Amino acid sequence: MALRVQKYGGTSVADIERISKVADRVQKAYDKGDQVVVVLSAMSGVTDKLITLAHQASKTPDKRELDVLLATGEQTTAALLSMLLKSRGYKAKSFLGFQAGIHTDKSSGKARIMNIDCNKIQLALDNGIIAVMAGFQGIDDNGDITTLGRGGSDTSAVAIASSLKADVCEIFTDVDGVYTTDPRICSAARKISTISYEEMLEMAILGAKVLQIRSVEFAKKFNVPLHVRSSFNEEEGTMVINESADMESAIVSGITCDMNEARITLKRVPDQPGVSAKIFGPLARAEIMVDMIIQNTRSGGETDLTFTVTKDDFDRAKEISEKVAKEISAGEVLIAKDIAKVSVIGLGMKSHSGVAAIMFEALASENINIRLISTSEIRISCVILEKYAELAVRTLHTAFGLDREE
């Protein structure tokens, strides 16, 4: 008997017909003798509709009340699936985040899980009950409902799987696994059978939208095996696990593309100790995540400093940068929103030289100019013009031998 946590995304529970198909899958696992915990997202589009309603009620909705409102989406799907299972003669019980023991900090809209008391879930499982849990939500020390941010149901599922010491956490979605790149951009993309937590985390950070970043961090920290698979077929998906000797030995395992990037450059910044802190301190206090940073030294004790942020944070970052530039007597602030970041990722890069050269030569062969470069032990990222992004992905996919064999 295995303990199995299954998470279903919004498209998998978009209507009663699809929720009924989810019930079929849950029954199949239960009938095998497995213990099953099901974690559900809201129906596709429901969260956006609730946000629209909130803004109709108030131009700036209270964050606490917004969490209360948004949590109802997952509450609905959890109750509906439980009703379906019970109507078929199965023992099932729905749990909201607080009932499942998900305790978070007080950051409304982007709460982080602090600890989990899964006794109620475990008791249900011990009594042969299918536990159906509303994802995306928890409770803080004040007893207030909190939500975990976009993709938070993935995090809920991995967190509960780690707490219960589940044998596997299955992430059911509208794709049938993790691919070498986005199949919508590159038709030659192929499904990866196994991938390491490290590679998956880089892919999630760099634009792959298969798994939420925090869920991969949780899985890596607590060694939770993840199985990413489609809710619309029975095919095996992609296993996300610890690096092992028998994993695929490709130098590069995937290519990602992130179109949600914007660039800010401060010209003629005084090249003095503490100046960088004056620039990035206000950005950090505004909770703006800075990605790539590059500094070019000029003559005369000055430097040009360039960094990237998400397009969502761009307007605030620009405003703060222009204010700081005046305070430190820097020159003009230059901006660019028409950029994209393409990255090559792979554990094999640790032990192979020349990966950067292959990447740069491939991009040069298509006359694609590189604006910024960032590297880690298993990743190289380049900022290019957005209009070349899809061409760059296809070119790099071929250059690193990732194209599917016909």
d(CA 6, CA 67): 24
Strand pairing class (226-230; 168-173): parallel
Calculate mean pLDDT across residues 290-314.
88
d(CA 86, CA 265): 59
Q: What angle do CA 242, 225, 13 make, to 5 degrees?
A: 140
Per the CB < 8 A criterion, the answer to whether 78 and 40 are in contact is yes
Task: Look at residue 150 in the predicted model and tell me its pLDDT.
Answer: 81
d(CA 215, CA 150): 11
Calculate mean pLDDT across residues 210-230.
89
**Whether the predicted pLDDT of 349 surpasses 90:** no
Per the CB < 8 A criterion, the answer to whether 103 and 113 are in contact is yes
Per the CB < 8 A criterion, the answer to whether 278 and 324 are in contact is yes
Q: DSSP state, 388?
A: G
Total Cβ atoms within 10 A of residue 209: 13
Task: Look at residue 67 in the predicted model and tell me its pLDDT.
Answer: 96
**Whether the predicted pLDDT of 28 surpasses 60:** yes
In angstroms, the Cα distances linking 358 to 39, 259, 364, 396, 399 are 42, 22, 10, 9, 7
Lowest-confidence range among 5-14, 46-55, 182-191?
182-191
Task: Look at residue 247 in the predicted model and tell me its pLDDT.
Answer: 54
As a whole number of Å, the end-to-end CA separation of the chain is: 40
Task: Look at residue 351 in the predicted model and tell me its pLDDT.
Answer: 76
**Whether the predicted pLDDT of 287 surpasses 90:** no
Task: Look at residue 340 in the predicted model and tell me its pLDDT.
Answer: 95
Residue 61: what are its φ and ψ, rounded to 5°?
A: -60, 140
- Segment 152-202, tens digit of pLDDT: 899 999 999 999 999 999 999 888 899 999 988 999 999 999 999 999 988
Strand residues in 271-396 grouped as ranges (E)? 293-297, 302-310, 333-345, 372-376, 379-385
**Whether the predicted pLDDT of 210 surpasses 70:** yes
Average pLDDT along the chain = 92
Q: Which amino acid is at 62?
A: D
**Whether the predicted pLDDT of 215 surpasses 60:** yes
* Per-residue confidence band for 394, with pLDDT thresholds at 50, 70 and 90: very high
- Segment 244-276, tens digit of pLDDT: 655 556 689 999 999 999 999 999 999 888 999
Q: DSSP state, 188?
A: T
